[in-house]
Structure 1
Amino acid sequence: MSLTYEERRHTILSQLDLEGKVQVHFLAERFAVTTETIRRDLDRLEKEGRLRKVYGGAVRIRSGNNEPTFMKRSQMNLPDKQAIGRLAASLIQDGETVILDNGTTTLEIMRQLKDRAHVTVITNSVPVLNCALEQFQGKIIFAGGEVNADYQAAVGITAHELLSQFKVNKAFISAGGLSLSEGITDYHLEEALISRKMMERAEESILVADHSKFGVTTFAQIAPMEHISMVLTDSGCSREWKDTFARLDIELLTGS
């Protein structure tokens, strides 16, 4: 018996959530229906505002390549980010050195570390640095260089060269998006390159991202998904993504 539209709709949207795109011929074979049926399904979903049709298939609707300001992002999904911050801080042992990249979720990690006198934090993020200077009892190292006022972070060759001097226990990496096809991505190439360097200098790379980032692709790739060992997210993570992380042997922890 062929699947109903609602059943096909669920599968199409789940694939979009994971990969960011679908192909007409692949879906037609999967559902054992004609390509015309799939195109009608995609037409309906486009009218519902769930996807955008392209040649040969459809892609997930993107929020655009213009990232909201740091201040605005810091208030988006704040309870989820705070939960992830608490979870991340609980994984950091006394005596460890960790890297926090420039993100509103990594800022929440820094806030949770304020009383940890025996932890060293390396960051290129001005907001993370400011938070540490106000509250942190441990050691803070700023991976300085050219500070971009829009990103509120140090980028460029000087920051890369400084990061090359360190080998750390854990790198906590934020992201603009995460998809199966494009991996971990960010809005800005300069920040993506810095996050990639941070991962290279860490024994373990941990992605910190609330569930709204899953299935999203932004401008510049940080790394393929296989380059991370763990994902810290919130309770909104879908069953499809949980299964995907398990299949890729990536440990998944959810904050509360």
Structure 2
Amino acid sequence: MSLTYEERRQTILAQLATQGKVQVQALAELFQVSTETIRRDLDRLEKEGELRKVYGGAVRVRSGMIEAPFQKRSLLQLNEKQRIGAAAASLIEDGETVMLDNGTTTLEIMRQLRSRSQVTVITNSVPILACALEDFAGKIIFAGGEINNAVQASTGPVAHELLNQFKVNKAFISAGGISLTDGITDYMLEEALISRKMMECAEESVLVADHTKFGRSTFAKIAPMDQISMVITDSGCPSEWVNALHQMEIEMVHSI
């Protein structure tokens, strides 16, 4: 019995959510229908604003390749980020040293660590540094370098060289996008390279991201998915991603 359009639609959208793209021929074989039927399905989904057709298939509609300013981003999905920050902070034990990359979600981790006098935080983020200087009871180390005003963080060879001096327990990494095909990505190469360096310096890398980041690919690659051990996200994370991460044996924590 052939599937209806609505049934095919759900499968197509699920593939887009995890892989970021679909191919006409592969879908035709999966559904056992003609390529013409699939192209009509993709036409319809494009009109619904769910995807963008490309040669041989379609890709997920991107939200844009330019990242919003830090202050504006800090207000987006704020409740989710605060819960993710609390869940991440609860995983940090006294005596540990952790790295926080520059992001609005990692900033919420810093806010949750204010009273933790036995924790050391290393960061390249100016907003995280400023937060720590207010009332953080632990030790803060700033990976200084060339300050990029656009992203409010230090980047470049000096920052990389300083990070090279450390081996830490955990690195908490934020992302612009998360895709099974493209891995963890960010909007700016300089920031992606710093996040990648932090992962190299850590015994364990933890990805912190709200549900809007899943199925999205941005400009610069940070790392493949298999280089992280845990994902902390909110309850809005698509079920397709829950299943995909389980199959990859990546631990998933839903913030409460």
Q: TM-score, normalised by structure 2?
A: 1.00
Aligned pair 1:214/2:214, yes or no? yes
Equivalent in the alignment of 1:187? 187
Post-superposition Cα deviations, 1:166-188, rounded to whole Å, max 9, x if no partner, equal 00000000000000000000000
Aligned pair 1:103/2:100, yes or no? no
Rounded to whole Å, the distance in 2 between the matches of 1:162 and 1:184 is 23
Post-superposition Cα deviations, 1:31-67, rounded to whole Å, max 9, x if no partner, equal 0000000000000000000000000000000011110
Equivalent in the alignment of 1:137? 137
Distance apart, 1:237 and its partner CA: 1.2
Superposed, 1:82-231 pairs within 5 Å as 82-231=82-231
For the residue of structure 2 that corresponds to 1:2, the secondary structure is: coil
Post-superposition Cα deviations, 1:121-167, rounded to whole Å, max 9, x if no partner, equal 00000000000000210000000000000010000000000000000
Post-superposition Cα deviations, 1:172-228, rounded to whole Å, max 9, x if no partner, equal 000000000000000000000000000000000000000100000000000000000
Superposed, 1:12-51 pairs within 5 Å as 12-51=12-51
Rounded to whole Å, the distance in 1 between the matches of 2:242 and 2:139 is 35
- Where has structure 1 moved over 6 Å in runs of 4 or more? none
Paired AA for residue 212 in structure 1: T
Paired AA for residue 46 in structure 1: E
Rounded to whole Å, the distance in 2 between the matches of 1:250 and 1:84 is 17
Count matched residues.
256
The farther-off stretch of 232-241 and 83-92 is 232-241
Equivalent in the alignment of 1:243? 243
The gaps in structure 1 that reach 5 residues or longer are none
For the residue of structure 1 that corresponds to 2:99, the secondary structure is: strand
Distance apart, 1:239 and its partner CA: 1.4
Paired AA for residue 211 in structure 2: H
Rounded to whole Å, the distance in 2 between the matches of 1:82 and 1:64 is 24
Q: TM-score, normalised by structure 1?
A: 1.00
Rounded to whole Å, the distance in 1 between the matches of 2:90 and 2:13 is 34
Rounded to whole Å, the distance in 1 between the matches of 2:67 and 2:238 is 24
For the residue of structure 2 that corresponds to 1:218, the secondary structure is: coil
The gaps in structure 2 that reach 5 residues or longer are none
Paired AA for residue 53 in structure 2: K
